[in-house]
A and B are shown apart, each in its own frame.
Chain A
Amino acid sequence: MAATRALIRRGARDLRLLAVPQCGIQADMLIGAGCVRGIEAAAVTMGELGGAPRFNAAVKAGAIEIRDSTCPAIHTALQASEKGVPFMPLRGILGTDILAHRPDWKVQDNPFAESGDPIVLLPAIRPDIALFHAPRADRAGNVWIGRRRELVTMAHAAARTLVTVEEIVEDDLLADEATAAGTLPGLYVSGVAEAPMGALPLALTEHYGADTDHLGEYARLARSAEGFAEYLQRHVLAQDVAA
């Protein structure tokens, strides 16, 4: 979230967002602030707090390009980039309106079947940037992600990976097998910035819970463009700009 706020303060424009595989307040804020040209996602939601208000308004106004997807299609298309292959097949999806609205997806018969067996082929997704927050990194740019392995897939697939962390530690995260197994090696990491409490108002597992009051305030204010502007002024634009 710290990086999301920084993007808004910097007046980022024309971003194409890829949710892995769904997103909420981050995408909603970027859309509301006019930073986004298009979004690909399996879902955009504020969870228990209901729909994502600025996303919903932008969809209705036709203000952003939307590519509806399904969770495993996003994971799989990133895995294609991980392997450096142009596409990956995936079961299911046939007969959906998701497929009907995705001219970039193709259906072909399984070449190994004796006959028939149509299967969906997904083109590889190679993001320009993977962006996420993690508990810690070391001086060599190794980032501890625990069992959130989709972050590894994102980094493998993306051209560049930018990470914010709670803290930068002096230990070598690859030195001990116990931490190495949950570590994204610095080979895949382009930049790390320290941003304590950087996930707030969202939770960071084992570090802090979500700030539900803050999320509730957002969900309430962002229902209108004026309320959203008030939120931005209060919680994003008026902050000391470190990033």
Chain B
Amino acid sequence: MPVTRTELLIATIARLLEGCGHVAVGASSPIPGAGAFLARALGGDEMRVSVLGSRRHNFFTDGGRELFDCAAQGRMDAFFLGGGQIDGEGNINLVGVGDYPTLDVRWPGSFGSAYLYFLVPRVILFREEHSPRVLVPTVDFVSAPGVSEEGVWRRGGPHALLTGRCLFAFDRAARRFRLESAHPGESAESVAEATGFGYDAADPVPETAAPDRRMLDLIRGRVRDEIAETYPAFAAEVLGTAA
């Protein structure tokens, strides 16, 4: 069976999480969740993974605030954020398009992004849609800023931006993304055409590494079963039904 785009994204996320002790996954995030489970399986089960919305993969007992307090204590190494808009300085917008507050399009809201972006060392931005309307020159509303002024206490921020077309790394000193690799079927040109902001790039741009045999077996077996508890439809439709 050929490697699907979803499997490539899961494997790429697992590689980005290498070395993390505790990874937390927010709501509506089946691919990041599967990526975290894969990273845990590859790392000999030493990683802790907490998945919002899961019963089995949720070890928090102190209410909604615990995830945030846990991040503040420095006990969370990686988290995932998305964005209706993401700009070239790593600013993300989860509120809407147009002039606040009435807006032309209203999205749900900022959730914990305004806080976790500062507290969690390795924030992975994940957005499958890679188009000029998502990757914009400047966001209409800053839910969470990619970088902060000197003197602002901050231990976390964007680490990478993974889309359906490519993987960017974020350079905090340069305040810019750098194109690391393009997924199969994409090129430096096709990525540039679909991106509304400027960025640096490797030359030539390598292809995003495919998952190896071991990763694929885990994705199609154990990881699928683990993610099925929280995202049954995703596990069945995207990762195949259980053997």
Binding site for B on A (CB under 8 A): 20-22, 41-45, 47-48, 51-52, 55-56, 59-62, 66, 68-73, 75-76, 79, 90-99, 101, 116-119, 147-153, 205
Contact = CB atoms under 8 A, between A and B. Distances in A.
A43 B72 contact: no
Contacts of A48: 28
B242 interface: no
Given A90-B115, A97-B95, A45 B108 contact: yes
A97 B100 contact: yes
A60 B101 CA distance: 8
A180 to B, nearest CB: 15
Contacts, number: 140
Contacts of B94: 43
B144 A71 contact: no
Secondary structure of the A contact surface, majority rule: mixed
Given A95-B152, A101-B100, A205-B55, A43 B108 contact: yes
Interface string B45-79: 00000000001000011111110100010000000
A75 B152 CA distance: 22
B109 A43 contact: yes
Contacts of A52: 108
Contact of B143 (A60, A97, A151): A97
A92 B119 contact: yes
Interface of B: 27-28, 55, 60-66, 68, 72, 94-95, 100-103, 106-119, 141-145, 148-149, 151-154
Contacts of A66: 101
B118 A98 contact: no
Contacts of A44: 108-109
Contact of B63 (A41, A96, A117, A147): A147
A233 B28 CA distance: 31
Contacts of A43: 94, 108-111
A183 to B, nearest CB: 14
A61 to B, nearest CB: 8
Nearest to B27: A47
Contacts of B148: 94-95
A119 B151 CA distance: 11
Q: Which of A66, A96, A117 has the most CB of B within 10 A?
A: A96
Contact of A60 (B62, B102, B118): B102
A229 B143 CA distance: 33
A223 to B, nearest CB: 14
Given A97-B142, A153-B65, A119 B115 contact: no
16 contacts: A51-B107, A59-B102, A68-B109, A70-B111, A73-B115, A92-B116, A92-B144, A93-B115, A94-B118, A95-B145, A95-B152, A98-B110, A101-B100, A117-B151, A118-B152, A149-B62
A68 B180 CA distance: 35
